[in-house]
Amino acid sequence: MDKTWQKMSEAAKKVQGFTAIGPHMEAGGVAAAVLAESGKIYTGVCVDTACGLGVCAERSALFNMITNGETRISRVLALMADGKNGAPCGACREFIVQLMEKDYQQVEIMLDYEKDKVATMGELTPEWWL
């Protein structure tokens, strides 16, 4: 296993943890780590709301990265509540593609850490806005 994926998985595990914020909001069931072009790893957690205005962990991690002055990524890892990995949802894919518009095809997505299964955004989102 690539050491960078291992560091990203460990970083996501550190921030993951279910937290009830109120009767209509919870956070942390899903955690994500993104690898910025600089090599720094940024993390985020999902925030789920009763009205659907929450945010996924991947976008939360990307917002964290952008807040810290970076705008380019090379890898994304999401850790689901059951400890398995998952691919970004449609909203997250759209955000990643727009963020990395010229190079989104090369962004790597961890699909299954245990099996070392990785796909690219180009494979997951092959024909964006054609």
pLDDT, tens digit, 9 for 90 and up, residues 5-22: 999 999 999 999 999 999
CATH number of the domain that 26 lies in? 3.40.140.10
How many domains, the chain?
Answer: 1
State the catalytic residue, choosing from 26, 58, 94, 114: 58
User: Which range marks the domain in which residue 118 is found?
Assistant: 3-124
Give the list of residues 6+ apart from residue 124 with CB closer than 8 angstroms, or none: 87, 88, 93, 109
58 is an active site residue: yes
Query: What is the per-residue pLDDT across 83-109, written as a single tens digit (0 to 9) for each?
Result: 999 999 999 999 999 999 999 999 999
Sort 128 into a burial class: Cβ within 10 Å, 0-12 / 13-18 / 19+: middle
The answer to whether residue 41 is domain-embedded is yes
Residue 130: predicted pLDDT: 56
pTM for this prediction: 0.95
The answer to whether residue 129 is domain-embedded is no
Residue 128: predicted pLDDT: 76
Query: Which residue(s) pair with 45 in the sheet?
Result: 31
